[in-house]
């Protein structure tokens, strides 16, 4: 047992197809449902897939966590499910398969459909209430002051949602599932089914989740403490029989921190002041407190720039505001605001109006602000950001610093967790930030793609560091981008380290000199608009090719899937380091303490490299894909940064001189062979 529980680092160093072994269908698909072989639904396993299923099955059987890295296109979803399901079926357990995007959740269900053709398995996918709600009253009125979950809960509690009331009268979840033609359902399919019965889709999905093997859902359901405490008991399975899958696990630390953070804007505080000033909800205590808080924030923000932030003492701020408002006890005032806000919401709901109260929102935020004020795992910030016109957004931010404080509670309750990603190097770092502990397994599985399908170039002599940014440098970057585009038969993606860099490329002639159409990802772009743009971009891959200009860390550089000619080449421009803000400094300092002086690596360098590598992986998605990856910054080849580059890319990289003609020749030759 001690050997099995020790850390295992499995590194398969085959290049291309060296050592490649196809598993015959009869061997891979044994009738024995006690192990992964019975659940893997395809006729043969790619290089490394069998090894990954064995390691995952081993970890789950032992009840320990595993952090596994495998490249894009490896088939991680199917492999992971096949490795976990034997234990789940033997123990009447449940898989919580977490991902970030709807497309990733759909992928889980697609693989479950394939597995269900060979084994009796079931599964459903969740989306948020906003995507699974039929009640127009809720959809038209929910906002940040009154989140949809809160309003939904109040309507259900008072019997005011007809969709929920009809579902309550339906049969048991086993009966609902038994009546369906198949036992694996996506969230849109559940919405369609529920709508046909005038029932609540979200509550129907929750009922079905009680009786299925796999539930595919957003990270927030397990990493938001409030949602977790409500949602987990409703699954009807003991957490000790649950296996948590963290897909694209490189996103988890940031997601965990976001879920434990919060922000209160000056706009909401002013709204609370108006709410308390007159009418049926007039309240002198709330009015004076919010008016004093408004004055204080205006006073502090007047000393700040339009895009600035500063750390602040939370207790000192509250005490000064309470004193200015003429009160003695902050605790009494804030509890009064929460109680008064709750009374307002009950009255609005009773009158058939939307239960929204800014007073409640302010009081609730400030109470939590004071509650965690002495905890070292939080930073407290006042921030300003520019808005349209001359307006300036002012906010108080509670910034969480410790991802393990969020991941730890769920990991301590479940049987085990499987974290998987194509960009999770170095594994030890992520395992530590995920809170996996020293007994976890870490395993790297190499690319099933032949080395000849990947070209990686780093441009020596080109450095996009802030101090080097000038017109000459941007003109040079444009030359390299044009060289790659013109040498690429299909589409090209250009992902810059920031929107400002993208604008600088445009200003220095990139769009003007292109002979192909340019699609530009813009900040604040609506999801539907972006989806339409990407569909058109993809359609040009076999028609001479076109170009997508986006940012590293954006929706298209991480969530986008571009197989075949939909993106033959990708250009990664610069290293996307975060701005050196007070909250970043606080995170680095905190990580230094809890992660043995690794603060800068874990909080600053690793997230930047993960965003860059995610963008770099867009072109190679299938076994027959060929992809050219050009990294326009010599820093990627330095020992300092190359330690964060996964093996599937590192083995393909070569350093070339700062010469666009050389780059064009290498890319053109690559696609001709």
Structure confidence by residue, pLDDT tens digits, 501-538 = 999 999 999 999 999 999 999 988 888 898 899 999 99
Of residues 385 and 157, more confidently modeled: 385
Residue 160: its pLDDT value, please? 81
Instruction: Quote the DSSP letter at residue 577.
Output: P
Strand-strand pairing, 214-218 and 94-99: parallel
Whether 139 maps to a domain, the answer reads no
Q: How far apart are CA 342 and CA 599, in angstroms?
A: 42
Residue 1: its pLDDT value, please? 35
Please identify, among 384, 400, 416, the residue that sits at the C-terminal boundary of a domain: 400
Residue 339: its pLDDT value, please? 95
First and final CA of the chain: distance in angstroms? 50
Burial 279-297 (b: 16+ CB within 10 A, else e): eebebebbbbbbbbbbebb
Residue 434 φ/ψ, nearest 5 degrees: -80, -15
Residue 155: its pLDDT value, please? 79
Same domain, 105 and 192: yes
* Range in 311-325, 609-623, 648-662 with the lowest mean pLDDT: 609-623
Q: How far apart are CA 485 and CA 544, in angstroms?
A: 11
Q: How far apart are CA 345 and CA 362, in angstroms?
A: 14
Same domain, 570 and 557: yes
Mean pLDDT of 27-49: 75
Distance of CA 661 to the CA centre of its chain: 38
Q: How far apart are CA 156 and CA 162, in angstroms?
A: 9
Whether 651 maps to a domain, the answer reads yes
Is residue 570 within 8 Å of residue 615, measured between CB atoms?
A: yes
- The DSSP line for 608-630 is HHHHHHHHHTSS--STT--EEEE
Of residues 24 and 557, more confidently modeled: 557
Q: With helix as H, strand as E and coil as C, how does 161-211 read?
A: CHHHHHHHCCCCHHHHHHCCCCCEECHHHHHHHHHHCCCCHHHHHHHHHCC
Whether 6 maps to a domain, the answer reads no
- Check which CATH number belongs to the domain holding 184 and give it: 3.40.50.300
Mean pLDDT of 558-564: 76
Same domain, 246 and 301: no
- Bridge partners (DSSP) listed for residue 551: 496
Residue 242: its pLDDT value, please? 96
Same domain, 418 and 560: no
* Range in 82-96, 167-181, 198-212 with the lowest mean pLDDT: 167-181
- Among the listed residues 259, 252, 258, 247, the one whose alpha carbon sits nearest the alpha carbon of residue 125: 247
Please report which confidence band the pLDDT of residue 206 belongs to, taking 50, 70 and 90 as the band edges. Answer: confident
- Among the listed residues 445, 447, 420, 446, the one whose alpha carbon sits nearest the alpha carbon of residue 431: 420
Residue 295's SS3 state is: helix
Whether 159 maps to a domain, the answer reads no
**Cβ partners under 8 Å of residue 221, min gap 6:** 96, 98, 126, 227, 228, 231
Residue 143: its pLDDT value, please? 63
Instruction: With a cut of 90, say whether residue 545 has pLDDT above it.
Output: yes
Whether 133 maps to a domain, the answer reads no
* Range in 18-32, 255-269, 363-377, 568-582 with the lowest mean pLDDT: 18-32
- Bridge partners (DSSP) listed for residue 10: 443
Mean pLDDT of 303-330: 92
**Strands across the sheet containing 416-421:** 9-11, 441-444, 66-69, 416-421, 242-246, 94-99, 214-218, 123-125, 184-185
Is residue 477 within 8 Å of residue 632, measured between CB atoms?
A: yes
Same domain, 421 and 464: no
Please report which confidence band the pLDDT of residue 396 belongs to, taking 50, 70 and 90 as the band edges. Answer: very high
Same domain, 118 and 253: yes
Residue 26: its pLDDT value, please? 33
Same domain, 474 and 601: yes
Q: How far apart are CA 519 and CA 223, in angstroms?
A: 35
Same domain, 649 and 602: yes
Mean pLDDT score across all residues of the chain: 87
Residue 390: its pLDDT value, please? 64
Please report which confidence band the pLDDT of residue 491 belongs to, taking 50, 70 and 90 as the band edges. Answer: very high
The 10 Å Cβ neighbour count of residue 11 is 12
Same domain, 305 and 251: no
Please identify, among 400, 435, 468, the residue that sits at the C-terminal boundary of a domain: 400
Percentage of the chain beyond pLDDT 70 is: 91
Please identify, among 365, 381, 400, the residue that sits at the C-terminal boundary of a domain: 400
Structure confidence by residue, pLDDT tens digits, 610-627 = 999 989 988 876 667 788
Whether 467 maps to a domain, the answer reads yes
Residue 389: its pLDDT value, please? 64
* Range in 312-316, 381-385, 388-392 with the lowest mean pLDDT: 388-392
Whether 140 maps to a domain, the answer reads no
In sequence order, which ranges of 63-161 are alpha helices (DSSP H)?
76-91, 102-116, 136-141, 148-157
- Check which CATH number belongs to the domain holding 385 and give it: 1.10.275.40
Same domain, 227 and 365: no
Q: Give the containing element (helix H, strand E) for 530.
A: helix 527-539
Q: Give the domain extent around 334.
A: 262-400
Please report which confidence band the pLDDT of residue 628 belongs to, taking 50, 70 and 90 as the band edges. Answer: very high
Q: How far apart are CA 151 and CA 135, in angstroms?
A: 11
Same domain, 416 and 513: no
ω into 283 cis (within 30 of 0) = no
Does the CA dihedral 49-55-58-59 come out positive or negative?
negative
Mean pLDDT of 187-214: 89
Instruction: With a cut of 70, say whether residue 56 has pLDDT above it.
Output: yes
Same domain, 484 and 380: no
Q: How far apart are CA 598 and CA 476, in angstroms?
A: 35
Structure tokens at 370: 């004071």
* Range in 129-143, 167-181, 185-199, 414-428 with the lowest mean pLDDT: 167-181
How many distinct structural domains can be found in the chain?
3
Residue 280: its pLDDT value, please? 86
Structure tokens at 85: 């399901």
Residue 101: its pLDDT value, please? 79
Residue 551: its pLDDT value, please? 95
Burial group, residue 69, by CB count within 10 angstroms (0-12, 13-18, 19+): buried
Residue 605's SS3 state is: helix
Structure tokens at 588: 């680095």
Whether 216 maps to a domain, the answer reads yes
Structure tokens at 612: 């860059």
- The DSSP line for 389-413 is TT-EEEEEEEEE--THHHHHHHHTT
Please report which confidence band the pLDDT of residue 559 belongs to, taking 50, 70 and 90 as the band edges. Answer: low
- Look up tokens 């096949």; give the residue: 82
Residue 181: its pLDDT value, please? 59
At CB < 8 A and 24+ separation, what contacts does 11-16 make? 11/444, 11/446, 11/647, 12/47, 12/48, 12/51, 12/444, 12/445, 12/446, 13/446, 13/647, 14/47, 14/446, 15/451, 15/651, 16/449, 16/450, 16/451, 16/452
Residue 162: its pLDDT value, please? 87
Instruction: With a cut of 80, say whether residue 469 has pLDDT above it.
Output: yes
pTM: 0.83
Q: Give the containing element (helix H, strand E) for 542.
A: none
């Amino acid at each position: 047992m001690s050997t099995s529980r020790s850390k295992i680092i499995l590194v398969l160093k085959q290049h291309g197809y060296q050592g490649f072994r196809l598993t015959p269908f009869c061997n891979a698909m044994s009738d024995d449902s006690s192990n992964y072989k019975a659940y893997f639904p395809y006729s043969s396993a790619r290089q490394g897939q069998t090894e990954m299923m064995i390691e995952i099955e081993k970890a789950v059987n032992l009840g320990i966590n595993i952090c596994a890295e495998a490249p894009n296109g490896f088939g991680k979803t199917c492999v992971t499910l096949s490795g976990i399901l034997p234990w789940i079926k033997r123990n009447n357990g449940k898989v919580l398969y977490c991902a970030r995007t709807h497309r990733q959740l759909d992928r889980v269900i697609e693989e479950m459909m394939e597995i269900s053709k060979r084994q009796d398995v079931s599964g459903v996918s969740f989306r948020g209430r906003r995507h699974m709600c039929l009640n127009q009253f809720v959809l038209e009125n929910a906002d940040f002051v009154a989140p949809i979950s809160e309003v939904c809960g109040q309507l259900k509690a008072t019997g005011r949602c007809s969709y929920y009331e009809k579902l309550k009268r339906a049969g048991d979840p086993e009966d609902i599932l038994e009546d369906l033609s198949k036992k694996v359902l996506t969230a849109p399919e559940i919405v369609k089914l529920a709508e046909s019965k005038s029932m609540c889709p979200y509550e129907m999905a929750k009922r079905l989740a009680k009786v299925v093997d796999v539930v595919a859902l957003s990270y927030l359901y397990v990493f938001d403490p409030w949602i977790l405490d409500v949602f987990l008991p409703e699954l009807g399975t003991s957490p000790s029989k649950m296996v948590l899958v963290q897909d694209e696990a490189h996103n988890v630390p940031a997601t965990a921190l976001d879920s434990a953070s919060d922000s209160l804007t000056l706009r909401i505080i002013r709204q609370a002041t108006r709410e308390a000033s007159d009418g049926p909800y007039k309240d002198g205590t709330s009015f004076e407190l919010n008016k004093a808080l408004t004055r204080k924030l205006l006073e502090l923000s007047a000393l700040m720039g339009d895009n600035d932030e500063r750390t602040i003492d939370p207790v000192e701020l509250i005490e000064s505001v309470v004193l200015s408002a003429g009160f003695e006890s902050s605790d009494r005032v804030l509890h009064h605001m929460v109680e008064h806000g709750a009374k307002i919401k009950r009255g609005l709901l009773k009158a058939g109006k939307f239960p929204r109260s800014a007073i409640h929102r302010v009081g609730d935020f400030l109470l939590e602000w004071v509650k965690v004020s002495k905890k070292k795992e939080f930073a407290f910030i006042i921030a300003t950001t520019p808005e349209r016109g001359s307006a300036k957004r002012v906010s108080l931010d509670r910034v969480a610093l410790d991802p393990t404080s969020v991941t730890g509670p769920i990991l301590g309750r479940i049987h085990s967790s499987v974290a998987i990603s194509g960009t999770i190097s170095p594994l030890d770092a992520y395992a530590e930030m995920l809170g996996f502990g020293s007994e976890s397994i870490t395993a790297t599985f190499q690319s099933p793609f032949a080395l000849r399908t990947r070209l990686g170039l780093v441009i020596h002599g080109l450095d996009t560091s802030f101090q080097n940014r000038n017109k000459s440098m941007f003109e040079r970057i444009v030359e390299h981008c044009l060289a790659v585009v013109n040498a690429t038969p299909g589409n090209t993606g250009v992902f810059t380290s920031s929107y400002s860099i993208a604008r600088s490329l445009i200003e220095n002639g990139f769009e003007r000199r292109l002979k192909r159409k340019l699609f530009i990802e813009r900040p604040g772009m609506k999801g539907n608009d972006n989806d339409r743009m990407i569909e058109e971009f993809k359609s040009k891959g076999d028609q001479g090719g076109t170009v997508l200009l986006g940012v590293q860390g954006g929706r298209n550089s991480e969530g986008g899937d571009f197989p075949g000619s939909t993106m033959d080449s990708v250009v990664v421009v610069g290293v996307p380091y975060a701005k050196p803000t007070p909250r970043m400094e606080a995170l680095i300092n905190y990580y230094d303490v809890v992660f043995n002086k690794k603060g800068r690596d874990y909080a600053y360098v690793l997230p930047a490299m993960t965003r860059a590598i995610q963008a770099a992986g867009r072109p190679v998605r299938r076994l027959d894909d060929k992809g050219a990856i050009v990294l326009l910054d010599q820093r990627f080849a330095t020992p300092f940064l190359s330690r964060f580059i996964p093996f599937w890319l590192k083995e393909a990289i070569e350093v070339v001189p700062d010469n666009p003609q050389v780059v064009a020749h290498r890319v053109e030759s690559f696609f001709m062979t």
